[in-house]
């Protein structure tokens, strides 16, 4: 496998999601094609991605009450998508001007991740 092609994101409405990702976040609309569900109902195959990015997001319209209930909760309250921008302050101000509501003010953080081997370090 050479790369991750798509990640699905369940949304309430295709057009509202496209407007947010394309108009506000400035992603590109890669594909918007009519399609059918497994049982023959109409849907769309909608793919967006950051300009120049390799991995895209498949915008999948919620199908039924159960899926609709997960819209906005797909990452169980955790941050689910991490976006990189060249100019944070400009991107932030553009999103605020577009009406994006942030859950907290911007902050600087240093993050380090590691994988530790537990061999010989087990506590009894």
DSSP string of 49-106, one letter each residue: EETT-S-EEEEEE--SHHHHHHTT-TTTTS-------S-HHHHHHHHHHTTPPPSS--
- 37 occurs within a structural domain: yes
CATH number at residue 49: 3.10.180.10
Residue 11: inside a domain, yes or no? yes
Distance CA(24)–CA(94), nearest Å, equals 8
Nearest to 24 by CA among 80, 85, 108: 85
The domain total for the chain is 1
Tokens of 53: 């990015």
Position 104 in a domain: no
Q: Is residue 117 domain-resident?
A: no
Domain that holds residue 59: 6-66+73-97
Domain annotation covers residue 121: no
In this structure, the dihedral spanned by the alpha carbons of residues 47, 9, 7 and 86, taken in order and rounded to 10 degrees, is 80
pLDDT at 92 over 50: yes
Spatial contact of 25 and 10, defined as CB atoms under 8 Å apart: no
Q: How do residues 30-51 score in pLDDT, each as one tens digit?
A: 999 999 989 999 999 999 999 9
Query: Could you tell me the pLDDT band of residue 124, with boundaries at 50, 70 and 90?
Result: very low
What is the pLDDT confidence band of residue 15, given thresholds at 50, 70 and 90? very high
Residue 62 in any domain: the answer is yes
Q: Is residue 25 in a domain?
A: yes
| C-beta of residue 34 within 8 angstroms of C-beta of residue 42 | yes
Q: What is the pLDDT of residue 107?
A: 83
- CA neighbor of 81 nearest in space, from 46, 54, 56: 56
Kindly state whether residue 36 falls inside one of the protein's structural domains.
yes
**For the segment 72-84, what is each residue's pLDDT rounded down to a tens digit?**
888 888 878 888 8
Q: What percent of the chain has pLDDT over 90?
A: 52
């Amino acid at each position: 496998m050479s790369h991750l092609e798509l990640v699905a994101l369940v949304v309430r409405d295709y057009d509202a999601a496209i407007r947010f990702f394309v108009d506000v976040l400035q992603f590109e609309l890669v594909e918007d094609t009519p399609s059918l569900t497994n049982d023959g109902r109409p849907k769309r195959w909608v793919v967006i991605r950051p300009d120049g990015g390799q991995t895209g997001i498949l915008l999948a319209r919620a199908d039924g009450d159960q899926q609709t209930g997960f819209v906005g909760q797909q990452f169980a309250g955790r941050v689910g998508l991490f976006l990189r921008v060249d100019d944070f302050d400009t991107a932030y101000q553009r999103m605020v001007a577009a009406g994006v509501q942030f859950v907290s003010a911007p902050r600087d953080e240093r993050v380090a991740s590691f994988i530790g081997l537990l061999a010989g370090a087990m506590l009894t």
